[in-house]
């Protein structure tokens, strides 16, 4: 899995008029702080931070991250507050949330 030190991947469209200065929120991913635009999805924030994978598959232990981006493929699963198998592309970032990468099926409880 990537360690999140990749270049930030925020879009910059010349015509959209999205100022760099935006309300941001912070959550933790495997104990590290990650910044997100307020209202962004976990999947969007993780990709923006340079991470391309945040779980491993059940059988072969291969890394997976975001694939379809719209909640159909179930590749982008993360654990939120101890609950595994949440689709990162659909969940809006909650400030202060404790997000964890998931190995295989993940486990329930803290």
Partner 1 sequence: MVRVATVAELVVVGGGPAGLAAATTAADLGCSVVLVDSAARLGGQYYRQLPAQVAVADPGALHHDFRPGAELLDRVRAHPAIRVYSSTTVWAAHRDGDQVELQLLYADGSCAVLRTRTVVLATGAYDRSLPFPGWTLPGVVTAGGAQALLKGQYVLAGRRVVVAGSGPFLLPVAAGLAESGAEVLGVFDASTPARWARHAGTVARTPGKLGEAADYLQTLRQHRVPVRFGRAVTRAHGGPELRAVTVSRLDRRWRPRSAGEQRIEVDALAVGWGFTPNVELAIALGVPTAVDPVDGSVLARADPQGCTAVPTVLVAGEITGVGGSALATTEGRLAGLAAARRCGRLTAEQLARQSSPLRRRRLREVRFARALLDVYAVQPGWMSWLRDDTVLCRCEEVTIGCVDAVVHDLGATDLRSLKLLSRVGMGMCQGRVCGQAAGCLLAARTGRPVLDLAGFSARPLAVPVPLGVLADEPPSVDGSGDV
Binding stretches for partner 1 (CB under 8 A): 1-2, 6-7, 9-19, 22-23, 37-41, 43-45, 47-48, 52-53, 57-60, 62-75, 77, 85, 89, 92
Query: What does the block give as tokens for 20?
Result: 């760099």
Shortest distance, CB of residue 5 to partner 1, whole angstroms?
A: 13
Q: Residue 23 or 110: which CB sits closer to partner 1? A: 23
Shortest distance, CB of residue 65 to partner 1, whole angstroms?
A: 4
Query: Biggest alpha carbon distance in the chain?
Result: 46
State the Cα–Cα distance between residues 66 and 64, nearest whole angstrom. Answer: 7
Element (H or E) spanning 110, and its range? none
Query: What does the block give as tokens for 2?
Result: 């990537």
Q: Residue 41 or 79: which CB sits closer to partner 1? A: 41
Shortest distance, CB of residue 7 to partner 1, whole angstroms?
A: 6
State the Cα–Cα distance between residues 15 and 47, nearest whole angstrom. Answer: 23
Shortest distance, CB of residue 53 to partner 1, whole angstroms?
A: 4
Q: Residue 33 or 105: which CB sits closer to partner 1? A: 105
The answer to whether 65 and 51 have CB atoms below 8 angstroms apart is yes
């Amino acid at each position: 899995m990537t360690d999140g030190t990749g270049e930030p991947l925020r879009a910059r469209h010349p015509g959209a008029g999205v100022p760099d200065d935006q309300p941001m929120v912070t959550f933790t991913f495997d104990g590290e702080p990650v910044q997100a635009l307020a209202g962004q999805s976990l999947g969007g924030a993780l990709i923006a931070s340079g991470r391309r994978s945040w779980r491993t598959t059940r059988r072969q232990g291969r890394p997976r991250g975001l694939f379809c981006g719209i909640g159909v493929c179930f590749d982008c699963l993360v654990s939120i507050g101890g609950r595994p198998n949440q689709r990162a592309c659909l969940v809006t970032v909650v400030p202060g949330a404790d997000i964890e990468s998931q190995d295989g099926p993940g486990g329930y409880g803290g």
